[in-house]
Amino acid sequence: MGLSFFIQCTCLVLLLVSLTLVHAQRKVFDVTNYGARADGKIDNSKAFINAWNGACQNIGGGMVLFPKGTFVVAPVVLPGRCKGPMELEIQGTLQASKEVKDFIGIDHWITIQYVDGLNISGGGTLDGLGADGWGYNDCLKNPGRCKQLPATLRLDFVTKGYITNITSINSKNTHINLFACKEVLIRNIKISAPGESPNTDGIHIGNSQNIYIVDSQISTGDDCVSVLPGSQYINVTGVQCGPGHGISIGSLGRDL
């Protein structure tokens, strides 16, 4: 037990060091320079994608910046294979579009894929406007035929990730979904949804390794943290959980 704890602590220290290097000063790609407007009305997904692609193709990587204000964003997929580490600095609020039809049957609002070195921070908020979609979640009454609702933030195949000083409220489904990720530190975040909101898991982890969730507050209508098959070396420390179902381990060893 002592050796295992020492190894995990050592891995966390090394991860913090590597993420500090990732957070070096980088070229800033401000979404407002790509046409984004913080008016809480227009869809800024195109500006988001263009700023991301510019930063991704920049030698040495870059930072995508959302300054203060409310930016409406429709579902986006942000691909990786970037030319350096990436940062997403959210100082204001990203708000899901109010068109519920945009989200029915998809698994994401904001998806980031195949990035080696990712830092998401800034003190801002992701607002999933979940109340607009919760009524469509009738899986308890209609299993097998219910409509899929999206996770707020989905990371697929991300290595050396750091999510800190971010608030996620009222997701339509899971708040943060990690799939096939390695060496991700989630620290000092706040996740909130009403206790009666359906399937609003805080952090959903599948097929991932070396995931650290520390010093955070998770208040949801479902699991605070859920761990699914293929996951190992998951460390949850200093997390305030509730309301919600606590920390859930589901079918963890099924495929072994």
pLDDT in tens, the chain (256 residues): 444 544 455 555 455 545 544 455 679 999 999 999 999 999 999 999 999 999 999 999 999 999 999 999 999 999 999 999 999 999 999 999 887 777 777 889 999 999 999 999 999 999 999 988 887 776 666 666 667 789 999 999 999 999 999 999 999 999 999 999 999 999 999 999 998 888 899 999 999 999 999 999 999 988 899 998 889 999 999 999 887 777 776 655 445 4
Instruction: State yes or no: is 222 an active-site residue.
Output: yes
Q: What is the CA angle 91-197-204, rounded to 5?
A: 65
Tell me if 171 sits within 8 A of 132, measured CB to CB: no
CA distance 176 to 173: 9
pLDDT of residue 191: 97
Instruction: State yes or no: is 245 an active-site residue.
Output: yes
Q: What is the CA angle 157-159-160, rounded to 5?
A: 155
Can you give the residue ranges of every domain in the chain?
A: 2-249
The fold of the 2-249 domain, in CATH, is: Pectate Lyase C-like (2.160.20)
Full DSSP string of 61-124: -EEEEE-SSEEEE--EEE----SS-EEEEE-SEEEE-S-GGGTTT-SEEEEEES-EEEEEESS-
Residue of 127, 156, 201, 222 marked catalytic:
222
Buried b (16+ CB within 10 A) or exposed e, 226-254: bbbebbeebebeebebebbbebbeeeeee
